[in-house]
Structure 1
Amino acid sequence: MKTAQHRGNKQSLPSKPCQHCGLPMSWRKAWARNWEQVRYCSDACRRGRRSAQAPAADG
């Protein structure tokens, strides 16, 4: 009988913190080509970066 291999082990994948929220994000297949350039865990964090860095309008 052939044993099934568990394919859901993410502990061996590389991870790094999101630059906006600081939560750890693990490697995803969609990021395989540009893992070094990935900085944000989600679109929400990417949008949050823009609004957090925008200067306050004094008017």
Structure 2
Amino acid sequence: MKTTFKGNKQSLPSKPCTVCGRDKTWRKAWAKNWDQVLYCSEACRKNKSNSTQVAKHG
């Protein structure tokens, strides 16, 4: 059974970024490797060594 996205992002899974803690919502591009997705953005990926500090987004 294949489900299609109907525009309701609340029904998509999400998990926190390992660096800043901000929730990142599932994307189709991450379908094959969702378990390995750790960062919400390229900036957090680059700052992964600073993961003890809480980054401010906004």
TM-score (norm. length: structure 1): 0.72
* Structure in which a larger fraction of residues adopt helix: 2
| 1:11 partner SS | helix
Query: Deviations along 1:2-23, whole A, 9 cap, x unmatched?
Result: xxxxx22011111000000100
Using CA pairs below 8 Å that are at least 6 residues apart, which structure has the higher relative contact order? 2
Runs (4+) of structure 1 moved beyond 6 Å? none
Query: Deviations along 1:24-47, whole A, 9 cap, x unmatched?
Result: 011000100000000001110000
Unaligned runs of 5+ in 1: 1-6, 54-59
Question: Among the aligned pairs, what percent are the same residue?
Answer: 63
Q: What is the alpha-carbon root mean square deviation over aligned residues?
A: 1.7
Q: How many residues align?
A: 47
Unaligned runs of 5+ in 2: 1-5, 52-58
* Bigger radius of gyration: 1
Q: What letter corresponds to residue 9 of structure 2 in structure 1?
A: K
| 2:15 partner SS | strand
* Distance (whole Å) between structure 2 residues aligned to residue 19 and residue 30 of structure 1: 19
